[in-house]
Amino acid sequence: MLSRKTLVAPSILASDFGLLGVEVERMTSAGADWIHCDVMDGHFVDNISFGPAIVEAVSRYTALPLDVHLMIDHPDRYLERFMPFAASISVHLEAAHDVSKTLATVREEGLLSGLAISPQTPIEKIKPFLGAFDILVIMTVNPGRGGQAFLPDMLPKMAQAAIWRSQGGYDFHIEVDGGINALTAHDSVQAGANILVAGTSVFRAPDAAIAIKQLREV
């Protein structure tokens, strides 16, 4: 079974992009477990963030696993551009043309395969894909921009996913992304999550190491 220990994945979307390498090194030194890369295309979400060139640049400043979250339409068309630098790639249920094939393609390359769902998507929509992914990403804000408040209505989704995982003998992480701080992390972990994507709460904390430690120990 995959480890259920709590992992903290700082999202570079909240970093100072003028000092991206320094910021990635800072999170690595502060004790991050993964580095989260939010890729946005201006179509699936109303924002454009960065593409494979930035993910490749991030990989040169850390040995930590890169957790690539594709908030883009037709993610299957772009997988090969991110695979050389990623340890995991998550695609949105709402955006992938052939979800099963896309998840399988990621796994075939030896990467962790993630399935992400937006707040409006019922958790029941993931059931046909149980067993096909290694990470379930539950968006706890509306995807597209950082700094939003956590949506507590997403907690029952985490709890339901954890029940299906346990009852069905499935093996996947539950990752939460959006509005994560010490308080919302505690609630999320209690509901079943074990990967915490954190942006503002770590990048803008007075001490990133303390902020990450607090998240991990909730």
Catalytic residues: 38, 177
| Residue with token string 């295309």 | 41
Q: What is the DSSP string of 127-182?
A: GGGTTS-SEEEEESS-TT-SSPPP-GGGHHHHHHHHHHHHHHT---EEEEESS--H
Residue 71 β-bridge partners? 40
| Residue with token string 């299906």 | 164
Give me 53's structure tokens: 């060139």
Could you tell me whether strands 173-177 and 112-117 are parallel, antiparallel, or unpaired per DSSP bridges? Answer: unpaired
Query: Distance between CA atoms of 144 and 42, rounded to whole angstroms?
Result: 9
Name the 3-class secondary structure at 212.
helix
Q: Do 186 and 192 touch, CB atoms closer than 8 A?
A: no
